[in-house]
Each structure stands twice: as C-alpha cells, then as structure tokens.
Amino acid sequence: MSRETVLDAIRRGLRRGPLPADQRAMLQSRLDAHPRHLIPARSRLDRPGQVALFLRNLEKEFATFSRVADAAAVPAAIAEYLAQQNLPSDIAIAPHPELQALPWAERPMLRLREGRAKASDAVSVQHAFAAIAETGTLMLPSAPERPTTLNLLPDTAIAVLRASRLVGALEEAWTLLRDELGGMPRNVMLVTGPSRSADIEQTLELGAHGPRRLHVVLIDDTP
Amino acid sequence: MHVATSPEFKQNAKRAIADPQLQKALARSGPSFIARRAAAVAALPEFEALREIGKQIKNHTLAHLDFYLETYAAKVEAAGGHVHWCADAAEARAVVLDICQKAGARTVTKGKSMISEEIAINDHLEKHGIQPVETDLGEYIIQLRHELPSHIIAPAFHLNREEWEEQFRKSHTDLPADRVFHERRDILTEARAKLRERFLAADVGITGANFLIAETGSSVIVTNEGNGDLTQTLPRVHIALASIEKMVPTLDDAAALLRLLARSATGQDMSVYTTFSTGARRPGDLDGPEEYHVVLLDNGRSAMLGTEFQDMLRCIRCAACMNHCPVYGAVGGHAYGWVYPGPMGSVLTPSLIGVEQSGHLPNASTFCGKCESVCPMKIPLPGMMRHWRERAFERHLMPTAQRSNLALWGFVARRPGLYRLATRAAALTLGLMGRKRGRFARLPFAGGWTAGRDLPAPEGDTFFARYARAQRQGTLGKGNQA
C-alpha cells in the first residue's frame, strides 16, 4: 500500500511534516462546523415564492408536476397522470410509510408492487426526502424504504413531495439530512429533471439511460 | 498508459485542420458551449463572487491535503468501504484488476472517468480477459471506434451524426442492417437498449469522482444521462477512481463548487444527477453495491504541490477552458495527443507525463487569456504555459534553430543601439523590397509565418523613428499624422 508514500510526497511538496495537533484540531472544527458559503439571493424567498421558483425550475428542466391539496389526493393525481400519458398502471413503489399511508384502495386500477425497481418496470413512485427551489432539484437519500433503483430503471419516475420539505438552497437540504438522518446514507441522489444526453452533436435529447419522464406530485401541506 | 502523440502536436494539428469532418464538428459544437455558459453565468449575479470562494476552498484543501485525505479515508472505512492509495498508474491498474478478479468479474460497466483514461484501465482489463463497457453515450462510441475522447466532458465532440450511424451499423450487427435513423433520438434509443443489457449483466461498476468529501467519506459523480448511477448501483461491486486533488472538506464546500461546475461545463444550473456515494450497501437496503472501493491516485499530482503548477490542482474538469480556446476550436482534442486536451491539458500533461513527452503543448496557445477568464477556479493557465515554455527552454528541449534564433534575438534586444540599427536596416530593406505590393507572400527564414498569412511590408521606418519625429513635431497623440 502506498498510503505513506502518497502522504509523504504531499508533505514534501507542502514543505512541512505532519500537521501539529493544534492545527489538526482547527481543521477538525471546520469539518464539524461545516460553514456555509455564499448562498445566491434567488432562493431567499417566502414559502409561496420558493414553491413557485421550484415549479418554474422543474419545468425549465423538462420535468412535470401536479399539485394536490392534501396527501389523500395523491393516488388520484398519479392515476390521472398515467392515464394522460397513456402509461401502464403497474407501479414499482418505495416501501415508505408516508406512501403506504396513502389511500391507494380508492384507485383499484393502480397495481402497486413495493420494493426495488426491476428492469421491466415502466413506472416508479419514490418518496422525496426534500427538494431544492434554487435549482428544481429533488433530494433522494437511499434507505430500505427508499431504494435507489426506483430513481433510475423505470422509464417514468414519479416523486411524491410535501411542500413543507422544500428548502431554498442545497445547504439547507444538507441541514435537514444531518439533523434527521444522523449520518450520511449510502447514496444521496440529487435529481434535476429527467435523464438526457447531448453527446450526439452537442444537441440535447431526453431519455438517455435514466427515466425519460420525471413527474413530481406536490402536496400543498404548508399554509 | 496511452502512448502520447503530444510531441507530434504540429503534425497532428495540420492533419486536424485539413480534416473536413472534424472541422464540421468543431464549427457546430464550439459556439453552443460558449453561448450556454454565458447565459447560465449571466443568470447568476453571484457567479464572480462564487469563483473567488471556489478558489479559496480548493486552496485551503490543497494546503492541508494530507489531513483531509486521511480524514476522508477513515470515514470511507467507517462506512464499510475500502480506500486503495496508489502512487502511480501501474499500481492503480493492478488494484482495479485485483478487485475485479476477486469478484470473479467477466464484464465491467464504466461511468465516464478521465482517471480511467489516464491509467488506461480498459486495455489492462481486456488483456486479462475482462470486458470493460463504457456506458456514457459519448464514451461508448469512442470505445467502439477505439479512440481516445477528444474532450473531457463531451468525449465524442469530434463526431458528426453520420459517423454515429455508421459505427452503430458496424457494431450492432444483430440489428437489421437497413434500419433507418430518422433523428438523433433513434441513435440514443438504440444505445440505451444495448447498454441496458450490459448494466444488468455487469459484475463490477467503475466510475470516476468529481469530488471526494472528507466530512462524510463520500465520492460524488455528476452526470446527465444516469449511466454513472446505474454503473455504481446495479453491480455487486463499485469502484470509484479518483485522484487526490478531488478532495473537498465538507458537503457545504461541495455545494458551493457545484454552483460553478455545471454552469461552466454545460451551462446548466445543476446537472441532472449529482450523486453522493458513501460506503457499501447498508442493512435492510434493497439495492446498491455490496462492496465499495475507492482507488485514490496520485500519479504525479503531489509533485505539483509547492511548485508554480500547484494552482492547476484546483481544476474541477469543467472544460470551459477548452470550450473557449481558439487553438482547441481549430484543431480539436485529439491533436493534443494524450488524455487531457485544451489549455488545462497543456498545463497538466507535462506535469503528469513529463515535459519531454508533451512537446509543443505549452506552445499550443495564442495567449489570448480567455481560458483564465472563464476558469471557474481562476487558474492562471496562460502563466503556467509560460512556465512550461521556460522549463522546456532550460532543459534544451527546443529545436536548435529555434533556440539559436531566440538567443540571437535576445542578444540584440539587450543592446538598444544595436537593436535600433538592426530594425532600421530591416524596415528600410523590407520597405524598399515590398514597395510595389505592400505585402510579402513569402520571406526567407519566415516560412512558418508566411505559410498561413501575408506579412505587410513596412513603410520604411521603425516605430522608434516615427515616435521620435512625432515628439519633435508636437503631433504625438493627434492621430496618424506622422
């Protein structure tokens, strides 16, 4: 192993030995404090302003959305979206308690299968941990109740997001994550719109390897 | 390692300029990158302030790189991952092969990674019976064509649609040969279907890393296609290839740099998938890799610390410098002859493979300064290219004629009397010789210059003489009256 070789070479370049304890402690306190840098003014808005900015950014990034007044309306919104897009009603869904609590029985046409995504799944429903207004981004940390493959394999990815989980900037989403999850999950995906590529003649085409469609169902749970 | 053709930059460039397909691709793609970046930057008033912040974050990290790497490695290990410290490319290749062999891997999917090109891992795996499959759309066709990427974020920058179609017909022989590609989307759809099978069958997934986070022990990838995520999520083993300067201290530091990266690269506010990976699958997880490895590569970078090239280690690989470079725009990426093209390549390549192997790269510049002005990390690229020129001169790496001419010029330029005499004689002679046409299409000893353009004939006087006359006549600064 070249660990010491690499570290020695770095210290030689920096013209010093290993850092003394007091300097290490100072650097460790910077890590612990993880100070924020400049946060752009564009997301410094009141709640309705942030919601509007988020939805504007979603559309700019080729995602779509439906807004519902409460959680009970989510199954209907999903059924309606799938019908509009002429998509199958078989859904791979995250085994998340908030999603399990929704009144799916009212929509017997939707056939749900809980778990990770399979290659053959056409539609997924994921639980959004948080979202970022500044860029129209969903934060999707992995967990047993939030499998990563749901974000990737199906052609159509649907995310259910409560408006109260919307923050202005990425830094604020990190704060939610640190406070609520305690440590870093295995995988944290920040998703901004559906998959795309511009590798052919630098011209944008949607639907590269990930979902061709990204649809957000936003629950207006804030005043 | 890929054999560098950088010493043949001049011949490479000549060939590139004479290649109509390449010129077509360059003319189409260059301006679109510039316009998209400009629009994204204009839409964020804080962009300039963020550049300075980004520079400070990286400078701080580099000054304490040993501390942050050690902290990072401890965090990775605490999350059940493995860190493999590698001093050079050979060591990194051996580590990757060993992990793949222990996993019993037959096929390996790959996300886009410049480090993987730098260590030429594909050839090494193939040699040992393991099939690497590039999954980034651009990298995929490059692999089919057995080429190197010509751009660090748009590997197939040099290809036109016809070349995509031709290659797909040649490579995907199980599909009807007479199929029609009505639009670009059809090419994309075919690649998607082909690669989907590969994603599902792969035993190991190899990605690069845009950042490593000391606070959490995470590796970060930034993509638009989702191929990197499929690569690191589906196989049983995930290997992240990262060089030591990818380090940043915290998630909040990464947040600041992410505001610079996508805007500078593709003109997006944020790329589609920015993903933080930390260790292996956790108890209860329904997906994700069971093993997580980071190959932490030095390969010449530590030797840049404490030198005039340290600032280069701030680079976040956005490609803004090459997108705005008139030289890159004229010759494309392959002419540079190794892994990293454009201004960042002209600085980095000599550091990584030696100035002897990089030939003319530090001269592949008009010194217009555009690269430095768009660099999100404010890296003084032209200044560093000048440093490399000086080093090449000191080490007698220039052709003899060029050296002796420079020495002669230096001798004359340091003696003002002689300099004026010589320039007066030259201006007078050339003025007389070129009086008729006003220009020279050919001149002895200046063929390199006149091959591409005419030299306007002097009017018989030197600047000094005119200036002195104007001063005497009191007409200085009153237009062109002298």
Quick one: average pLDDT of B161-182? 94
Q: Among B303, B323, B342, identify where a domain stops.
A: B303
> Would you call A31 helix, strand, or coil by DSSP?
helix
Quick one: average pLDDT of B115-132? 97
Residues A111 and A211 in one domain: yes
Please provide the DSSP assignment of B148-165 as one string: --SSSS-TTTT--HHHHH
B312 found inside a domain:
no
Tokens 């062109």 belong to B480
Q: Which pLDDT tens digit goes with each residue over A172-207?
A: 999 999 999 989 999 999 999 999 999 999 889 999
Does residue B134 register a pLDDT over 60?
Answer: yes
Does residue B217 register a pLDDT over 80?
Answer: yes
Residues 6+ apart with CB under 8 A from A215: A63, A64, A65, A66, A81, A156, A157, A158, A159
- Return d(Cα B192, Cα B336) in angstroms, integer: 31
If you count residue pairs, one on A and one on B, with CB atoms under 8 Å apart, how many are there? 272
Tell me the percentage of chain B whose pLDDT exceeds 90.
75
Domain holding B420, by residue range, is 414-473
Residues A27 and A53 in one domain: no
Residues A115 and A175 in one domain: yes
- Return d(Cα A217, Cα A70) in angstroms, integer: 11
Quick one: average pLDDT of B148-155? 94
Residues 6+ apart with CB under 8 A from A18: A11, B66
Residues A83 and A179 in one domain: yes
Q: Which pLDDT tens digit goes with each residue over B320-332?
A: 999 999 999 999 9
Lookup: tokens for B94: 């051996």
Please name the residue of chain B whose CA is at the shortest distance from the CA of residue A19: B67
Please name the residue of chain A whose CA is at the shortest distance from the CA of residue B65: A10
A42 found inside a domain:
no
Average pLDDT, chain A: 97
Residues B421 and B293 in one domain: no
A161 found inside a domain:
yes
For chain A, what percentages of helix, strand and coil (3-state, to nearest 5) are there?
35, 25, 40
Residues A11 and A94 in one domain: no
Quick one: average pLDDT of A12-21? 97
Quick one: average pLDDT of B188-198? 94
Quick one: average pLDDT of B124-153? 96
Does residue B295 register a pLDDT over 50?
Answer: yes
pLDDT band for position B481 (cuts 50, 70, 90): very low
Cβ distance of A192 and B270 shorter than 8 Å: yes
Please name the residue of chain A whose CA is at the shortest distance from the CA of residue B84: A1
Please provide the DSSP assignment of A53-75 as one string: HHHHHHHHTT-EEEEESSGGGHH
Residues shown for chain B: 482
- Return d(Cα B235, Cα B233) in angstroms, integer: 6
- Reported pTM: 0.92
The CATH number given to whatever domain includes residue B105 is: 3.40.50.10420
A74 found inside a domain:
yes
**A21 interfaces chain B, CB cutoff of 8 Å:** no
Pairing between β-strand A205-206 and β-strand A196-197 as defined by DSSP bridges:
antiparallel
Q: Which pLDDT tens digit goes with each residue over A117-133?
A: 999 999 999 999 999 99
Q: Among B285, B303, B321, identify where a domain stops.
A: B303
Q: Choose among A40, A183, A175: nearest CA to B256.
A: A40
The CATH number given to whatever domain includes residue A77 is: 3.40.50.10420
Contact B232, B93 (CB under 8 A): no
B332 found inside a domain:
no
Please provide the DSSP assignment of B380-447 as one string: -HHHHHHHHHHHHHHTT-S-HHHHHHHHHHHHHHT-HHHHHHHHHHHHHHHHHHTTTTSEES--TT-H
Give residue B33's pLDDT: 92
Residues A7 and A70 in one domain: no
Contact B470, B452 (CB under 8 A): no
Please name the residue of chain A whose CA is at the shortest distance from the CA of residue B51: A38
Please name the residue of chain A whose CA is at the shortest distance from the CA of residue B196: A209
B317 found inside a domain:
no
Lookup: tokens for A136: 């129209």
> CB pairs under 8 A, 24+ apart, for A72-75?
A72/A102, A72/A103, A73/A219, A74/A102, A74/A160, A74/A217, A74/A219, A75/A102, A75/A103, A75/A104, A75/A106, A75/A107, A75/A110
Quick one: average pLDDT of B351-367? 88
Residues of B in contact with A143 (CB under 8 A): 284-285
Quick one: average pLDDT of B364-382? 95
- Return d(Cα B479, Cα B473) in angstroms, integer: 13
Q: Which pLDDT tens digit goes with each residue over B5-53?
A: 998 999 999 999 999 999 999 998 888 899 999 999 999 999 999 999 9
Lookup: tokens for A66: 């439906």
Residues A107 and A156 in one domain: yes
- Return d(Cα B296, Cα B282) in angstroms, integer: 23
Give residue B78's pLDDT: 97
Comparing B152 with B479, the larger pLDDT belongs to B152
Q: Which pLDDT tens digit goes with each residue over B243-279?
A: 999 999 999 999 999 999 999 999 999 999 999 999 9
Cβ distance of B45 and A40 shorter than 8 Å: yes
Cβ distance of B233 and A149 shorter than 8 Å: yes
- Return d(Cα B22, Cα B375) in angstroms, integer: 25
Q: Which pLDDT tens digit goes with each residue over A51-75?
A: 999 999 999 999 999 999 999 999 9
Q: What is the ipTM for the molecules in this complex? A: 0.98
Please name the residue of chain A whose CA is at the shortest distance from the CA of residue B289: A186
Instruction: State the angle between helix axes of B381-394 and B342-353 in degrees (0 to 180), rounded to the nearest 10.
Output: 40
Residues A122 and A165 in one domain: yes
Q: Which pLDDT tens digit goes with each residue over B72-85?
A: 999 999 999 999 99
- Return d(Cα A200, Cα B138) in angstroms, integer: 7
- At residue B204, φ and ψ (nearest 5 deg) are -135, 145
Q: Least CB-CB distance to A199: which of B138, B244, B276? A: B138
pLDDT band for position B463 (cuts 50, 70, 90): confident
A9 found inside a domain:
yes
In whole angstroms, how far apart are CA B344 and each of B1, B324, B385, B407?
A: 19, 12, 9, 29
Domain holding A157, by residue range, is 47-219
Q: Least CB-CB distance to A13: which of B258, B275, B306? A: B306
> Best residue in A126, A186, A191, A205 to probe B by mutation, most B CBs within 10 Å?
A186
Give residue B482's pLDDT: 40
Which stretch of B100-114, B133-147, B160-174, B443-457 has the lowest confidence by average pLDDT?
B443-457
A7 found inside a domain:
yes
Cβ distance of A195 and B273 shorter than 8 Å: yes
How many folded domains does chain B comprise?
2
B346 found inside a domain:
no
Quick one: average pLDDT of B132-141? 96
Give residue B193's pLDDT: 94
Average pLDDT, chain B: 93
B345 found inside a domain:
no
Residue type, B112: K
- Return d(Cα B376, Cα B261) in angstroms, integer: 7
Q: Which pLDDT tens digit goes with each residue over A130-154?
A: 999 999 999 999 999 999 999 999 9
In whole angstroms, how far apart are CA A153 and each of B181, B199, B227?
A: 25, 10, 10
Residue type, A64: T
Give residue B250's pLDDT: 98
Does residue A158 register a pLDDT over 80?
Answer: yes
Comparing B292 with B472, the larger pLDDT belongs to B292
Residues A31 and A55 in one domain: no
Q: Among B256, B288, B303, identify where a domain stops.
A: B303
B404 found inside a domain:
no
How many folded domains does chain A comprise?
2
Cβ distance of A198 and B224 shorter than 8 Å: yes
Cβ distance of A37 and B64 shorter than 8 Å: no
Does residue B296 register a pLDDT over 80?
Answer: yes
Q: Least CB-CB distance to B192: which of A117, A137, A209? A: A209
Cβ distance of A148 and B233 shorter than 8 Å: yes
Residues A72 and A4 in one domain: no
Q: Which pLDDT tens digit goes with each residue over B411-426?
A: 888 998 898 888 888 8
Give residue B275's pLDDT: 98
A85 found inside a domain:
yes
A21 found inside a domain:
yes
- Return d(Cα B136, Cα B159) in angstroms, integer: 15
B99 found inside a domain:
yes
**A211 interfaces chain B, CB cutoff of 8 Å:** yes
Question: Is residue A100 within a helix (H) or strand (E), and if so which, with residue range?
Answer: helix A97-100
Give residue A1's pLDDT: 61
Residue B223, beta-bridge partner list: B273
A135 found inside a domain:
yes
Residues of B in contact with A192 (CB under 8 A): 268-274
Does residue B58 register a pLDDT over 80?
Answer: yes
Lookup: tokens for B406: 């420079």
Q: Which pLDDT tens digit goes with each residue over A79-124?
A: 999 999 999 999 999 999 999 999 999 999 999 999 999 999 999 9
Cβ distance of B305 and A10 shorter than 8 Å: yes
Task: Give the minimum alpha-carbon distance from A78 to chain B in angstroms, rounded to a whole number.
Answer: 23
- At residue A140, φ and ψ (nearest 5 deg) are -125, 85
Lookup: tokens for B363: 């001269």
> Best residue in B134, B190, B270 to probe A by mutation, most A CBs within 10 Å?
B270
B459 found inside a domain:
yes
**A209 interfaces chain B, CB cutoff of 8 Å:** yes
Quick one: average pLDDT of A149-168? 98
Contact B231, B240 (CB under 8 A): no
